[in-house]
Structure 1
């Protein structure tokens, strides 16, 4: 019997984990958190009103405050329809009201009872699982309003009572531990990326040796086949063509290894700007460096320089960004079976910008918020999912921005905007 229950538990747990992973893959991470908060709050607010009002009555309870919380949580059930700005505003307002304000106000009005002391502590733990900056704002706003409301309505002496004040060190210590845990997770993520980069570099270097051997053997065979005078037999012509294709593929693979090594190096190096980079020069360098499959593919890419500009960054990291964007654009064209790529250097725009436009397969609206997430790739299993995330990380380090405008089956436009530097513009 026990074995059967354990097997059922394992199957159920695996199913839940897989469902959550698939769900997170379809939705923006912030939207997922808002939806979870809304679902839990919509159920918990009325449920615990019944519990604390009828089963374990507390000194103070407020149905109107509960109703406001229920309404706020119910609004969050429509988070998929929110714009990014509306989502951020909703999250700040709802977090400020539910966790710091409501829980702190009930804690004070119940004179720091055991039930509300523990409830407030749990609320703070949940709050600081959200973005630390948003959580701190919500904590300060909500706690201040709760103290002000309790002072106006309740007993002001309770605010400075020993029972209330002794909770503050516990709360602040909890907040500090949660913040430290978040930093540790971020460090661990960076270590994983560094390990991924090191592994990628090792694999790339290991591939060099067999490719060099193949290239040398192909060159030898080509010399042997080309020896002699007069017209070549048809079978020898076919052999020479096949060897030439092999030689081309070897060169293509060597170029791709260069791209992998650049990405691996970027993962492990400092991203801060250290030099002034000419946008036109770096774009031209990328177009010369990129391993196009053939001349036809190369002709699909056009460069338009409206006005050159310079920016504070790093040349090698700029190459990494543009190589990733060009690679993704050409893949989109290949998947769609149509389209072209246009790269526009627009230093006359304020702020200066680079437009990377492809008329390939485009990006579905529901996938667009996710494309800059680390380890997310579209279509699924199409690469490691670190290219665009790395691009955004580099751009952030340069106080620049990267955004995407797209329509499925029509186009994708990546807009890279850089801080205005009048003295450096050309």
Structure 2
């Protein structure tokens, strides 16, 4: 039932076109093949029956709810009768002549476009062609001659099979992208709930402090120092909530973006506290899962980037580890190490591991290992984020024993970070008021990325 419903849902936008083309095409082509270019066999009543079958679909919008539930089944039956049955029957009755061989080939392409499901379409084609062959066999004096025309069968089979596979592949990719877009839409809605709830709470507090418009002392009420401080704190928290919400939307859209991560909010941050907060705020399924994560970062370090983006990298790595935990003893250890060129955060779990031939693909967009509910964007998102920080992410694993992800951050004073800062400055506009011959103006001009600069004496 689900297959039939899905087939009809994909075909429904084209149903009106099917009604028009089928309702008019069958009787019109009777005149073409009977009078204009006469063929050995024609059947007006069969054509009128096909026109009637497709014409019924024109009234699908005004049917009762009970009949509407039957429309997908009726659609499948009518398409089977009007395409593979009709065209194969006419081909058999016309002695496999060139006109009807080509007509049957055309019906194959229409059948592929109008019936989405491969197995249903092939089964329907097989049943309809067999029925057409049996009926034609008893209507022809010498029966249907297959022996002399077997050469066409591999061509028909090839067209049906590979034509449907190519169409199915395109349709599947389109469906996958639609599903991903819908998933990220739901993700945005879910992630925005927290900052919006925080704003709602803040405004409720403000409302409780400030007198309403109907209050008798609304014109003389004065705020004390404590209330002013509370309001200032609320405003700061609200601004932070809005900032976090905007950044959350950016990072979710970044997961779909094929090329870049927005660096507009990048600044100097300390990694240890951010990772610690991410581990603590992660949505664990239960309290026992949280006890399986061991935080072992002893030395802090600075990096240039976004705290929200790094938190979501940690979320993705934790989610990935728990998804591949296996049945044995499991834990996750988060540690760090320092080198002359930078610092690294290591995520090591004792899960099922990753096969060597798969590691090279795990950071690709839409690559999954077959787990349900995943779209293959988590690790590719981590890779984009780490590259935007000037760093990288690598994976090492031993099948059945452990998996380790290393997040590498360049030193804050490194050339990679300086390059990011320079690119960030290029996206800014500066209004300089002063003498254009001053040292400040000269330094600004040296920054090649300044997009707009106005000087005034």
Task: Give the TM-score band, short-chain normalised.
Answer: 0.3 to 0.5
Greater share of residues in helix? 1
TM-score (norm 1): 0.43
Q: Which has the larger radius of gyration?
A: 2
TM-score (norm 2): 0.41
